[in-house]
Amino acid sequence: MVSKDRQMKSPLIVIVGPTAVGKTALAVRLCQRYDGEIVSADSRQIYRGMDIGTAKPTLAEQAAARHHLIDIIEPDQTLGVAEYQSLAYAAIEDILRRERLPFLVGGSGQYVHAVVKGWKVPRVPPDYALRAELETEARRIGAYALHARLTELDPQAAARIDYRNVRRVIRALEVCLKTGRPISAQQGAQPPPYRILQIGLTMPREQLYMRVDARIERMMAEGLLDEVRRLMARGYTLNLPAMSGLGYRQLGEYLIGHISLEEAVHRMKKETRRFVRQQYNWFRLNDPAIHWIDVSNTDALETASQLIVHFLRSGF
């Protein structure tokens, strides 16, 4: 028997998985079938003018299913995890108020976990001068030594952050230095008031890598180089977080004459494969909370539909 409290919780469908696996296409079809709307959980699609390189939903896909939290800031602006979490919850509540089904869709692990797990995120605004100072220090002493500094200030946070993820190390140091308290002491979780169904899309790694390479070739054919050129012409420099994204950094390096176009495309493919491996660290294939669908040998639409129907009918 389903408890009254459980029955009162509103449903949220979450679709996760690595880049290029087909999350958006599936989510659009599911939204059409179940009167749904998509809340994007992609940390790159938030930027206006960055369309091709972020694999932003096409105009046809946006017409087929309403999307939230894409094209919301300029490339020289930032959106922290806490801000994203607030916007995502507001979008979900708006969708539910209109008696439609919310779908949280994306591969940005921090964004998804912030919503699904209800992270308590320190609301410390970015200090760009301090970040620049820490970035300089990282280049001078190395990522491992910078991580060791975090270990001294906040061993709990350091234990959770890979020393190679310099951006996360710097953010943890920033919070510690600005507030005088370890970031780990300011974090926690309070699960949101939703019944959540998580669906993960996957496929054999080598097949996924082939899709990644094909997507990058398609992006180049669609004009990604011109997109990067336009952004740089508008004054968006390569040191901006937005311009550090896959494709933008590598093609930017080509445009300023540091590498050849062939090398830029090669690095895009290599770095995207590395990013896929990182995504599987966020969304683990052995996570019992995620219902994984191998899209290489399964009808993803029908399998996901069966999961959703059972979820909605059962109340669990």
What pLDDT is stored for residue 133 in this prediction?
93
Q: Measuring CA to CA, which residue among 203, 197, 198, 199 is closest to residue 20?
A: 203
Q: In the chain, what are the domain boundaries?
A: 10-121+189-314, 128-186
Q: Which two three-digit tokens encode residue 22?
A: 């087909």
Q: Which fold has domain 128-186?
A: Histone, subunit A (1.10.20)
pLDDT at residue 183, rounded to an integer: 83
Q: What's the rounded Cα separation, in Å, for the pair 169 and 65?
A: 37
The pLDDT of residue 8 is 66
Distance in angstroms (rounded) separating the CA atoms of residues 45 and 55: 8
Identify the segments of the chain with pLDDT beneath 50. 1-7
Q: What is the pLDDT of residues 51-60, one digit of tens each?
A: 999 999 999 9
Whole-prediction pTM value?
Answer: 0.85
The pLDDT tens digits of the residues spanning 33-78 come to 999 999 999 999 999 999 999 999 999 999 999 999 999 999 999 8
- Extract long-range pairs of 220-223: CB within 8 Å, 24+ residues apart: 220/265, 222/52, 223/52
Q: Where does 10-121+189-314 sit in CATH, by number?
A: 3.40.50.300
Q: How far apart are CA 212 and CA 273, in angstroms?
A: 7
Both tokens assigned to 229: 């050129």
| b/e code 153-182 from CB counts within 10 Å (16+ = b) | bbeebbeebebeebebbbbbbbbbeeeeeb
Task: Please give the structure tokens belonging to residue 293.
Answer: 């669908």
